[in-house]
Every structure is written in C-alpha cells, then in structure tokens.
Structure 1
C-alpha cells in the first residue's frame, strides 16, 4: 500500500508539473518605447515582444494620447513573438501616452495588458511666414522742409517752409523827402548858391586884374 500511495503521489506531481507550463499565459517581455520611457519625438511605430509567438490577425493594439483620444495605427504585423504596429498621423502633443494590447495565447485564451511612455517634445510646428513691411512713401522736393544747423548745438532743425504765392511784393520806392533823406530842393539850392558865389568871385578877380593893368597918372 505504501508503495502504491507513493507511486500515485509521484504521478500526480508529474502531471502537475507538465500541466503548469502548458497552461501558462502569454506575457509581454519588452516593448519599444519601453514602459516608463521618455522620448523626445513621436515614435513612428510600436514594437511589442512577448514570451511566446502570437498571431497578428487576432491581436489589437491601441495608443491613447494625453487628451484621451485614440491615435490612429496601421496594420499589425507579427514576426514570431514580436508584434510591430506602425503609427499614423504626423502631429502629436507632448505628454503621457498609454498603449493597450490584447493577444491570443497558444492555448487559445486572450491576454491583455498596458504600458506607458512620455513624449517630452511637442509636435513640430511650421514657422510663421515672414511678411515684408511696405516701403515708406517717397518724399518729393515739394514736401521736404528746409533744414538749418544750429551753430551752438550742432544739430539740424527742420523749419516750416512759408507758403509761396504766384506774385511778389513790389519793391519800395523813395519819395520826395518821405524816407528821411535830404530833399531834392535843398541840393538845388546849394548848387545855385555855389554858382552865385563862383560868379561873384570870378567878377571880383576880373575887376582887380583890370585895375592892375591900367597905367598910373
């Protein structure tokens, strides 16, 4: 009886040992990006490696962004125990991302799980288009104001140009004695007096000459 009981116990343990690996479910072995990693730019694909081969046609992988929306993914492909999921789209905001996966184990059971990574840099934005400022209006010679240089400060000041008219002011003419000068009649009187004096002197000298020329008696 003792031998039979011992043999039955060993057989039971053997069966348990054989059945345990067969009933083990598929586990996620590694991923790219790795769980908890921080990446500076948006990855172009997700790579999930499991402990045993998994079929691609029954696998599902979703990526959830910081805003809670699911980001588009491409067709899943399998290479043994590795699943590759291309990521569609071009703009991704910075923040935490969560990857949820579901795969079918060799025993037919479905296993699921999650892992997360953080995008540290925001999506690249297009630089603003540079606009060329309009050139200032041209200044014509009629609009330009004359400038003058101050001798003391050495700076140039702009003077307001006086308005010009089509006619010019007439030149001032001198009147007869109204401008403060010597009247014309005074000059005429002086010339007349000088003429009379000259004539009188000439007559006097002529008489003296005649007297000196007469013979004495």
Structure 2
C-alpha cells in the first residue's frame, strides 16, 4: 500500500512539474536592422537601429562599424527604446563593404553578438559640424536600459518552490503510509 501511495504521489508530482514547465525559451534574436543585412546604400546613414525580439541590456560599446579601409566609424551613445537600440553615427570612408557588429546581454545574462553586412555605393561624406549628431544624451539608467518583458522564461525561484512542495508532498505520503501501517 505504501508503494502504491508513493507511486501516486510521484506521478502527481511529475504531472505538476510538466504542467508548470514553460516552453523552452530561446535567447532574444535580432528581428530587424537599419541598415538591413545586405543593403546597398547610396548615402551613409546618420544613425543605426537594431530591433530585438526579447529582453536585453547593453554592454559598453555595443555597436561598431568598420569600413573597407579598416577605419572605424564614430558611433555615439546607444539608447534603448522598447526593444530597439539606436545610435547616431558619423560615417567616413570610401564606397564598398561595411560591417556593423553588435553585442547585447540577454535577459538570462548570456552575451550575444552578431554582424550586419551592408555596402555604400558612394563614399561616406563627413557631415559638417552643424549637421553632425549632437552630443550624446546621458546614458539611460540601468532600469531604462534593461528591458522587462515576458519572453517565456520561468523564474528559478518558482522552480525551487515547486521542488520543495513536491518533496514535502512525497514525504507526507511516506509518513502517512508508515503511520497507517503501524
């Protein structure tokens, strides 16, 4: 009888754990960018933007742009609105292939990086000082940069509470079974 009660308790606990388990949540992914992957631009952009599908924070220097001559574009302070990172840029360099590399920190703490290849069909002209991007705004506070969203994750503390409840239920069934058999 004890074995049967223990089996029922374990089956019930397994069912609860499976029912409470969320679908596996993947890392956030890049959904779109401006410039887009493979874009051929007739004029250099004055800002770049990257839209992600999940929560993230920004590390230092999250965006870099390198031209065919190896020179780096000047990238201003990146800001986050919703799930989109935007940064002003001061392009310089010849026509040709450019690479935008980005990095973010996913909500679970894992660093993610990627690259976007695009090209300029005409040399990038450095804008005059009056048209240059204004001095970057102060960095957003960490609470503004951190995105709070529900992207399917299940908090670790909840798993711990469930596990403790399952162990307590199994222990109660065992104790009850021993008491009734004595």
- Shorter-chain TM-score above 0.5: yes
Deviation of residue 122 (structure 1)? 2.4
C-alpha deviation, 1:123, in angstroms: 3.7
Q: Are the counterparts in 1 of residues 27 and 54 from structure 2 also a CA contact under 8 Å?
A: no
**CA drift at 1:56:** 4.1
Larger radius of gyration: 1
Match of 2:75 in 1: 73
Q: Does 1:118 align with 2:119?
A: yes
Partner of 1:98: 99
Moved over 6 A (4+): none
**Alpha-carbon separation, structure 2, partners of 1:119 and 1:98:** 11
Q: Please say if residues 71 and 93 of structure 2, whose CA atoms lie closer than 8 Å, have aligned partners that are also in contact.
A: no
Between 1 and 2, higher relative CO (CA 8 Å, sep ≥ 6) is seen in 2
2:90 is paired with a residue whose SS is: coil
Specify every segment of 5 or more residues in structure 2 that has no aligned partner in the other structure, as ranges: 127-182
What value does the CA root-mean-square deviation take over the aligned residues? 2.5
SS in 2 for 1:67: coil
Which of the numbers 31, 36, 39 marks the counterpart of 1:37? 39
Gaps of 5+ in 1: 126-217
Aligned length in residues: 121
Aligned-partner Cα distance in 2 for 1:119–1:112: 23
Offset of residue 109 of structure 1:
2.0
Query: What displacement does 1:15 show?
Result: 4.4
User: How does the TM-score come out when normalised to structure 1?
Assistant: 0.49
C-alpha contact 1:35 1:115 (8 A) present in aligned 2: yes
Normalised to the residue count of structure 2, the TM-score between the two structures is 0.57
